[in-house]
Structure 1
């Protein structure tokens, strides 16, 4: 079996030894295809990787020559499709993928307080490295930086686990090398201080702090951070809490003086009739070893995007031990004025006390992205109306993944995958209605129940509203409810009752279909809560009108009506 190595010089090896890959261009091309193994990589991305500075006028022809040469060397098919190329290989044969899988296993073990298993998995992952990532491929510098950052964070967490096991003397040599190689890295200095202190070398531990302070002051004019300063003070007074915890009483490893992350719990899960496939698919995209780290869940208003996102968050609780941070799209505001508060909300959900939140926006951004580089968390941005509102919040760390729900189908975030949620089919709609009002009631009037389901057009939001009215009004028969839903003039009111959120959803859906700037909704009780906020018209989605290449849209399930077809309820509106 062919094996591929990206964590160092770019290499391929089969049973006979290393495979000659040719020059730098073919090696870079191979690496670019392997980073998205099994998925199409468009020609523009390959050109940027192979010719990062000044591509020649004949670049497409030269790319084809490189692909042909790589096919001959590997004796493997490289398929050409939809303006790109796909290399079909088993992901487990790529060292960078195995590295990220082992890192996830190690973090899972840490979250379950199995430090021994965590150390084994971390060391197995780090042993895969043979030098700097993607050596000789300057056009892949961003991906190389991501892998290097992941390597550094994994090393930090492995040392934490070793210290948790009482291996302070065993890691002293390793930490000394890490401190020399990373003279500004406070985390490694703090770990070395703790290991020395636990080895009865208090004076040397204090010297490590003084050396760090001198370097920071000389190079950057800065003082060490509050966490390592607190550790320094506790070493000075021989704080007994620095000693190794008794066996069986230790928790997840955190250095003294640090605030442990407080995982944010996802919202309570509601039954997701007919959506298990969607939840599983999105969860796999967010948790697999390698990009994409960003998934956009899109679909028409009321199709159940937020509910599926909540289901995904619960599905991935074990994958993201530091929790789920959730932010509603409204919290971002229209012009960015609410961004500092939004960033503060994320920081608090990731464990930062309110009293420690920086006051200015720039510091909050800096703290957030610094936190995300050492935190394994899932960020959920719900009901985002515009990509620009979350672009600055998407982390550059490989540790975190991002799930976005939006009605917009055009997204250009790097390594983003868009999954479109289709309406439920009739059988699943009936199942949802039956779960909500009881199977006996549906069995008594199956044709009326079927008519209600048809009128709701497979939209869970509308089905839940119809079911809520039936539950709250015992005198309302299914026959009457079905008649109301069938009457176009009363359909919206029958589904929505006095719930302004439903009316807003239909109004926004109507705007998206017609590109209308201002829509006045029928409100039974006019007032501020019932106003439909102005929304900008839908941006053009035709090729050539986007500033960046849009991510392709996956539609689930695939055998439903084509995207863009409005539901019957929206048509009635």
Structure 2
């Protein structure tokens, strides 16, 4: 049996989810699971279930909820005086498994092993704690410590990636995290270091200046000593900040890279080109785009699953990068009178106006953005939006408007997404694929020869053809799954190929959770379909 509280409250027995009933009953289970093997008094349950105004019958309602849970679930809920105790293996509850994995990661010296543990731990989060049953007050009373542990785990994961030479890969993620948590100096320092190692020392120093101003204005304090030392080291080009770059050579995808290069050349000739890159989790969309972006100027934005991200978040990242990399005088000339209007998307461009209240106002804003992108694209421009399946509806509509409205502009617009996780985007992206000059590219799995190359890198020894063939069949050539099997077998050479590595389970579980909803929409289609007409 598994109990999940990092998101909606769920209880699963075997392959079946148990119907838990009304909110109060689910919340009582969530609290008892959170406090597994510890007594929770009825009074505390009442405070957590009804934090503001408990009814007179609250104690009776708690007892009824416990009785119903005992009847529905194969677990021991013991009565202890005026309280209850859920007797179970703590690791059957996702929050305790999360804490255990984080503790293991902190004791692990190897960056790659630590990264695997932290990926598994953070993958257990499906949303806010007790998402469907608890009030904000209840979460504050129960879960504030674990929320902080999650943020520290995110920081630890970034630290591991930086140690592995993944500084370019974490910049966009860190930009979003620092925007959401501007007072977390460890995140700020990691962003500065990632930018510095990516050859963007000026932007790293600009991050420090903005943080110093924010801390002074909001809290009346200066940055800590560690952040000040990092600023000085960047100013001095201190060699201690450098790390040997770990090889992240892309395995396979030469055909796809060549096609992206051709489409970029087409776009730079003045024929606006839109590419929709789709594929399952772990198939290598972001890695392909990283390799494509090397040595050329690419403005990148990314949808995020985290709650609280503002509207137009991917586009805010795009315009912020453009501002950071463009001379201030040139930027002011290109923006012209559009700055205040675009302030709805990027507040620092001008005084943010009220959110558009009508379709007409939104259309006018999108037209303004399209005109601005046309001016930005003088000389050629590539814009990439990753993880469109997590983008907010407004960002998707703006993507669609730009795809339709940018005509005869030297612009390559790329959107990447997981097709089975699309929420609002399905109809929007379908409209885009019907445009002239639009291209849809579906990434397939790696071939057996490519899997052998990746496994050789992971295992530190030549991979036998028979071994590669079995793993290719087992994984469908998904690079993430191949990599995780390689790590598993490197740690334990006797590990069975049929065992699902922990690092791959969450991607598989996420896929299966939405598959049933999509069966009716499935239809055969070619891996790469192209509309050859141009604008």
TM normalised by structure 1 equals: 0.40
Q: Name the larger-Rg structure.
A: 1
Larger relative contact order (C-alpha < 8 A, sep ≥ 6)? 2
